[in-house]
Amino acid sequence: MMTAGLRSLLLAAACSCAMAGAAAAQNLTIAVGAPVTSIDPHYHNLSPNNAMAAHIFDGLADTDSRARLVPGLAESWRTIDDTTWEFRLRRGVTFHNGSDFTAEDVAFTISRAPNVPNSPSGFGIFTRPIAEVQVVDPHTVRIRTRAVYPLLAVDLSNVMILDKETHENATTEDFNSGKVAVGTGPYRFVRFAPGDRIELERNDTYWGGRQPWQRVNYRIIVNEAARTAALLAGDVDLIDQVPTADIARLKQDQRLNVSEVVGLRIIYLALDHSRTDGSPFVSGPNGEALDRNPLKDVRVRRALSIAIDRNAIVSRVMEGAAIPAGQFLPEGTYSHVPGLNPPAFDPDGARRLLAEAGYPNGLRLAIHGPNDRYVNDARIIQAIGSFWTRIGVRTQVEAMPWTTFIARAGRQEFSAFLVGWGSSTGEASSPLRSLVATFNREKGFGASNRGRYSNPELDRLLEQALATVDDEKREKLLQDATRVAMEDVAIIPIHIQKNVWAMKRGLRHDARADELTRAMDVRPGG
C-alpha cells in the first residue's frame, strides 16, 4: 500500500518533470552582463547591441564563431576591379512584416547607417570607404570604394540591413518601442524593457532555417554575483561573462556546462613613447628625475616585457580564463604570426638588459590601469608591479575608474598603463592601425595609440597591406608588420582573454570569439 502510493507519487513527479522539461525546451532564457542600449541596429556600435541586432536583423555577410567571414543576405561577392565589389543577394527573403528584401534596401541601409541622429558611436566607420552604391538589378548590388579597400565585406558584416519601405524616416525611438523593429533575422522582436530584458519570438519563415527556441528571453543582469546566482537557481538557462573566480566551481557542478573560447581581446601594456626627455612616472632608482625617457630604449622595454611571468598571471590572476600573448591575435585567426610566441619569463635576463641600457640600479616607475573595465584589471597591474619590483624597477600601482583613466591616458599623462583591444574584424589590421601605427588623425591611424609609438617601417608595411586586395599577400604583409611591432616591443602583450559562458546541462553552446551572446549559438542536447 505504502510502496504503491510512493511509486505513483514518484511516477507523477517524474511525469511532471518531463513535461516541464518539454515545455522549457521551447523557451530559452539568457542573462547577459552588459546592457543593450537600443534596438536600432545603426544607433550604437557596441557589442551587446550588435549581439541583439543579430537576432532580429541580418548583414550582407556574417562571421562565424571563429570570426571568419560567411555569407549572409548576400550569397556571394566578388571584386570586379580593385575598387568595385559586386554582391549577389539572396532571393525570396522577406522582412518580418512581409515586405521583400531587395537591392534597394541595401542602398538605403548604407545611406542610413552613418546618419543616425545622436548616435554615441556610429556605424559610419564601416560605410566611410564607400563612394557609390549601384543597384544593378533587384538581386545585385555594386559598391565602389574611394580607394582600394580589401576589408569592405568584413566591415559590411557589421551593418544590419533595413527595409527601405519600413524604415525610411524611422527614428531610434521607433525601433525601441517596437514599431519598426522588423528585420530579416531568425527572431522577431516582442518587447524591449531597457536595462531589464528583451523578449523575442521565433521567425518561422527564416531563410536560414527554423531556430529551436519558440521564445527567447534576453535578460540583462549586470551584477556578476547575481548573474551566477540566477543560473544556479535555475532562473536562467545561460549566462555570459562568467566571473573568473566562479569558473572552477561551475565546471565542477553536475547540473551545469561551461563553454569557453579564446577571444579576440588582447590585454596589453602601452608605454610612453611620446617624450624623449624623461617620462612623468619614470625616475631614477632614488626618485631622481631623468633627462631621457628610458622607455624609448628597446632594451628597457624588452626587460619590462620578459620580467613578467605571463603563465603565472594566466593561471593565478585569470584562473585559466586567458592565454599568454606574444602578439595581437590568437592562433587560428587570419594574420596570426606562426612561431611568434609569448616572451619567456626571464628575470635575470631582464636585469642584464636594464644594466646594459645604463640602469644597473634599476628605476622607479608607476603603472596605471582601470579597475572596472577588463576582467581582473586591477589585479593584473598589481601582479605586474610585483614582477617589475623584483627586477629592480620599483613600481607604484594605481588603479582608477575607467572614465578617469581613459581620459588621462588619451592625454598621454601616463608612462606605463594597462589597456585592452578587441579586434572586431578578427584580423591584425585592426590592432596595427589603431594601436601601433603612427598617430595621424586624417588617415585615421593610431586612434588608440595612446603611447604614441611610431615606426616608419611598420607604417609602410601596414599601408601596403591595406592597399592589397589579395588575401594571401595581405596576410603576409600584416604578419610582417606584427613581427616588426613585437620585436620592437611597441606594446607589451600580456594575455588574450577567453570568453566564458555557463549554462544548464542539456544545452550546447557554440562559444564565439567575438564575445557576442546570441540565442542562435545555443542548441538543445549536449
Closer of 128 and 390 to another protein (Cβ): 390
Find the shortest distance in angstroms from Cβ 499 to another protein: 19
Closer of 428 and 492 to another protein (Cβ): 492
Closer of 174 and 398 to another protein (Cβ): 398
User: x/- site string to another protein, residues 224 to 263, per CB under 8 A?
Assistant: xx--x--------------x-xx-xx--------------
Residue selected from 29, 172, 203, 395 as contacting another protein according to rule CB under 8 A: 395
Distances (CA, A) of 135 to 35, 78, 105, 143, 317: 37, 15, 10, 9, 53
Distances (CA, A) of 339 to 93, 264, 294, 331, 429: 45, 18, 29, 10, 19
Cell digits for 160? Answer: 544590419
User: x/- site string to another protein, residues 294 to 333, per CB under 8 A?
Assistant: ---------------x--xx--xx----------------
What's at 350, amino acid-wise? A
Closer of 142 and 379 to another protein (Cβ): 379
Find the shortest distance in angstroms from Cβ 228 to another protein: 7
3-state helix, strand, coil in the chain (%, to 5): 35, 25, 40
| Full DSSP string of 147-170 | S--TTHHHHHTTSB---HHHHTT-
Find the shortest distance in angstroms from Cβ 505 to another protein: 20
406 forms part of the interface with another protein (CB under 8 A): no
400 forms part of the interface with another protein (CB under 8 A): yes
Query: How far is 329 from 336, CA to CA, in rounded Å?
Result: 6
> Cα 336 from chain centroid?
16
Residue selected from 389, 434, 448, 464 as contacting another protein according to rule CB under 8 A: 389
Find the shortest distance in angstroms from Cβ 246 to another protein: 6
Helix boundaries (H) for 398-455: 402-410, 429-431
Closer of 116 and 242 to another protein (Cβ): 242
Strand partners, 522: 509
Cell digits for 303? Answer: 626587460
Residue selected from 94, 99, 214, 382 as contacting another protein according to rule CB under 8 A: 382
Helix axes 298-306, 347-356, angle to 10 degrees: 160
What's at 88, amino acid-wise? R
285 forms part of the interface with another protein (CB under 8 A): no
Find the shortest distance in angstroms from Cβ 404 to another protein: 9
378 forms part of the interface with another protein (CB under 8 A): yes
Q: Which residues contact 26 (CB under 8 A, 6 or more apart)?
A: 213, 214, 215
Closer of 383 and 432 to another protein (Cβ): 383
502 forms part of the interface with another protein (CB under 8 A): no
The owner of cell 583591444 is 421
State the number of binding residues for another protein (CB under 8 A): 31
The terminus-to-terminus CA distance of the chain in angstroms comes to 40
Write out the residues near another protein by the rule CB under 8 A.
224-225, 228, 243, 245-246, 248-249, 309, 312-313, 316-317, 371, 378-379, 382-383, 385-390, 395-401
